[in-house]
Chains A and B, each alone.
Chain A
Amino acid sequence: MIPFEYQRVDQPEAAVNAVANSQNTKFLAGGTNLIDLMKNNVERPTRLVDITHLPLGRIEDLPDGGVRLGALARNSDTANHPLVRQKYPLLAQALLAGASPQLRNMATNGGNLLQRTRCYYFMEPGFAQCNKRAPGSGCGALEGINRIHAILGASKECIATHPSDMCVALAALDASVRLRGPKGERSMAMTDFHRLPGKTPEVDTNLHPDELILSIDLPASPYAAHSHYLKIRDRASYAFALVSVAAALEMDGQQVRSARIALGGVAHKPWRAQEAEKTLVGKPLSADVIETAAKQTVVGAKGYQYNNFKIEMAIQGVVRALKMAGGMV
């Protein structure tokens, strides 16, 4: 870890000013990912601005029936807030599927969005190749050990996945992210927040370097009664997803009025499967229609030497999650 200056700020404006015009400054929130990467010399800030004391820790109702999640509310508090548990059980489940209780007590909602990939080649500078860590150096995973890597939306430059569970549920629930920069506030759909790697895998998100996440806003949801977060991993708890599925259904009797499906562990961003959602709408929920929809989620999927299994796993994961959401199992 290289030496760094540490500074605590208590207002969003001061936080934004502290990173403006400063190349090597980073915000510090829960630190569960940043400090880890600093120990590995992957992240090398020379200044940390501690934002944990900003007044952005609240979880509150919005006038339109939605809920605002403060960027600095901890993942554990968010998962356990009655508003989240009762209006968005899918999100509570996804949060509780992630990490460990200790880490969830530290990790913030904003920080969860900004988690970096768990690709081995990114995490360890001993590997010469990683376009995300050292642009232009190549991708070690492409021909290497790529069991945990992407099957959708990857590029020759990068096949890393985004590791979050929370973000998969947020993508399914049409959340938006409220940001503050030097020129004021703006809002971005959750599905636009993370990027596909393309030729610039070193850029994870569409957040500007001088912007601060203020909150994650959830619209009113018709999905509380029928949703399920499925996480498939190497051990029953405290492991990253090989494949995860957030499935939510709005039912009108036996018929599907609307559906939301997003996958984790398969791409550089939470993977919303809108074609599959459309397939379900207006039809009675049956094993056949679920299978058709599930196959649509992996259209264009490409496996690599060690992760080919993920394509079938994603299909079966979507089938299972939809059946759970619809009360069929």
Chain B
Amino acid sequence: MNLTSKTNTQNNRGEHCDGQPEARGETALASQDDFASRPSKSREDITRREFVVTAGVIGGGLALGLPHLASSVGGGSGLAIAEESAPAHVMNVQLRINGNMQSLSLDSRVTLLDALREHLKLTGSKKGCDHGQCGACTVLVNGRRINSCLSLAVAHQGDEVVTVEGLARGEDLHPVQTAFIEHDGLQCGYCTPGQICSAVAMLDEAKNGAASFVTADLAKIGPAKLDDDEIRERMSGNICRCGAYPGILAAVRSVYKDGEKAEMRSGS
């Protein structure tokens, strides 16, 4: 645990904030096998992330006891170690991730989130609560936002997945990404990839006429008008522990307003 905090203090502010929750997520995640099979590297070769992961595993293992490390896939309370060591069911799955077809051989228990982060090294999508309560793992599947932590990777055979890494076009950020920077829609940044993916999908949903719990007239069908209450309600599946909500609201509002202006110019 001390190793983790020491790493953090040596980094700049952004990395410091990013590092803490990342270490926590990995502690619950990395299996003994993963850990043991990791090739040894010289000190210079070890990336910040790997170092934080390793430190987290060691620290977490000491703090929580070895049974926790033995409960490999999908967390769990470590109460069923014998059964968890029963043979895994490994399956082949093809996923289109950010436009690239990926073939993976996965334990049926692996969530879409873990497939992205641990198998494809797409660590933009974050593991916050791992129980569908925080939204940090939000990705787009076939254009719709979902919590990737509550979804099995093998169930997404043939699906089109877009993560935060797939939103920009080369060096050109997605307008929602630009707006989050312009409007300070973040502090530590850990929830930000989920917030951004969620906002991208939410703006599409509104355009397609989706209602929310605060929509006054549900019988009226057509594109949704988004005021601040609508944006808050529609973004409520993404929790920000820093409380950067005013910035997030401003960022989403600005992208929505730009869209409205563009529609007015095009005469629709």
Partners in one complex: yes
Q: Mark A52-92, 1 if CB is under 8 A from B, else 0.
A: 10000000000000000000000010011010011001001
B77 with A124: CB separation less than 8 A: yes
CB neighbours of B116 from chain A (8 A) = none
A101 with B89: CB separation less than 8 A: no
B150 with A35: CB separation less than 8 A: yes
Given the known interface contacts A3-B87, A3-B88, A6-B155, the answer about A238 and B237 at a Cβ–Cβ threshold of 8 Å is yes
Task: Give which listed residue, B151, B155, B211, contacts A79 with CB less than 8 A.
Answer: B211
A82 with B221: CB separation less than 8 A: yes
Interface size of B in residues (CB-CB distance below 8 Å):
52
CB distance from B239 to the nearest CB of A (A): 8
- Is B1 an interface residue, CB under 8 A from the partner? no
Given the known interface contacts A41-B77, A101-B202, A106-B146, the answer about A80 and B232 at a Cβ–Cβ threshold of 8 Å is no
CB neighbours of B138 from chain A (8 A) = 102
Task: Give which listed residue, B79, B83, B145, contacts A101 with CB less than 8 A.
Answer: B145
State in angstroms the CA–CA spacing of A4 and B109 once bound together.
7
State in angstroms the CA–CA spacing of A101 and B86 once bound together.
36
Which of B61-69, B163-171, B175-183, B212-220 lies at the interface?
B212-220
State in angstroms the CA–CA spacing of A52 and B151 once bound together.
12
CB neighbours of A32 from chain B (8 A) = 132, 147, 150
B86 with A103: CB separation less than 8 A: no
Q: Mark A90-119, 1 if CB is under 8 A from B, else 0.
A: 001100110111110110000000000000
A96 with B108: CB separation less than 8 A: no
State in angstroms the CA–CA spacing of A52 and B135 once bound together.
22
- Is A329 an interface residue, CB under 8 A from the partner? no
State in angstroms the CA–CA spacing of A202 and B139 once bound together.
35
A40 with B147: CB separation less than 8 A: no
- Is B244 an interface residue, CB under 8 A from the partner? no
Q: Mark B196-234, 1 if CB is under 8 A from A, else 0.
A: 001001100100011111010011010000000000111
- Is B189 an interface residue, CB under 8 A from the partner? no
Pick the most buried of B91, B155, B202: most chain A CB atoms within 10 A of its CB. Answer: B155
B237 with A102: CB separation less than 8 A: yes
Task: Give which listed residue, B86, B130, B236, contacts A39 with CB less than 8 A.
Answer: B130
Given the known interface contacts A4-B89, A85-B221, the answer about A125 and B79 at a Cβ–Cβ threshold of 8 Å is yes
State in angstroms the CA–CA spacing of A2 and B75 once bound together.
10
CB neighbours of B89 from chain A (8 A) = 3-6
B235-251, CB < 8 A from A: 236-238
B13-58, CB < 8 A from A: none
B131 with A36: CB separation less than 8 A: yes
A40 with B76: CB separation less than 8 A: yes
State in angstroms the CA–CA spacing of A100 and B202 once bound together.
12
Given the known interface contacts A3-B87, A6-B108, the answer about A237 and B233 at a Cβ–Cβ threshold of 8 Å is yes
Closest to A106 in B: B146
A85 with B145: CB separation less than 8 A: no
The main secondary structure of chain A at its interface with chain B is: mixed
A41 with B152: CB separation less than 8 A: no
CB neighbours of B146 from chain A (8 A) = 102, 105-106
- Is B84 an interface residue, CB under 8 A from the partner? yes
State in angstroms the CA–CA spacing of A76 and B211 once bound together.
9
Closest to A229 in B: B213
CB neighbours of B210 from chain A (8 A) = 76, 80
State in angstroms the CA–CA spacing of A174 and B13 once bound together.
57
B80 with A41: CB separation less than 8 A: yes
A2 with B80: CB separation less than 8 A: yes
A39 with B75: CB separation less than 8 A: yes
- Is B154 an interface residue, CB under 8 A from the partner? yes
A126 with B135: CB separation less than 8 A: no
A85 with B150: CB separation less than 8 A: no
State in angstroms the CA–CA spacing of A81 and B130 once bound together.
30
CB neighbours of A97 from chain B (8 A) = 213
B209 with A80: CB separation less than 8 A: yes
CB distance from A13 to the nearest CB of B (A): 21
CB distance from A254 to the nearest CB of B (A): 23
Pick the most buried of A52, A86, A105, A126: most chain B CB atoms within 10 A of its CB. Answer: A105
A24-45, CB < 8 A from B: 28, 31-32, 35-36, 38-41, 44
CB neighbours of B86 from chain A (8 A) = 2-3
Closest to B197 in A: A102
CB distance from B204 to the nearest CB of A (A): 11
CB distance from B207 to the nearest CB of A (A): 13
Task: Give which listed residue, A2, A31, A96, contacts B83 with CB less than 8 A.
Answer: A2
State in angstroms the CA–CA spacing of A103 and B145 once bound together.
9
A93 with B218: CB separation less than 8 A: yes
Given the known interface contacts A1-B76, A3-B89, A96-B212, the answer about A35 and B152 at a Cβ–Cβ threshold of 8 Å is yes
CB neighbours of B155 from chain A (8 A) = 6, 8, 28, 31, 50, 52
Given the known interface contacts A6-B152, A126-B77, the answer about A35 and B218 at a Cβ–Cβ threshold of 8 Å is no
- Is B59 an interface residue, CB under 8 A from the partner? no
State in angstroms the CA–CA spacing of A92 and B91 once bound together.
38
CB neighbours of A86 from chain B (8 A) = 218-219, 221
A100 with B135: CB separation less than 8 A: yes
CB-defined A-B contacts under 8 Å, sample of 7: A1-B75, A4-B108, A39-B131, A97-B213, A100-B238, A101-B198, A106-B151
Q: A76-B144, A101-B237 are in contact. List 16 more A-B contacts (CB 8 A).
A: A1-B73, A1-B76, A2-B83, A2-B86, A3-B84, A8-B157, A36-B150, A38-B74, A39-B75, A39-B76, A79-B211, A86-B221, A96-B212, A99-B237, A125-B77, A237-B233
A-B pairs with lowest CB-CB distance, top 6: A100-B237, A237-B236, A1-B74, A6-B108, A96-B213, A238-B236
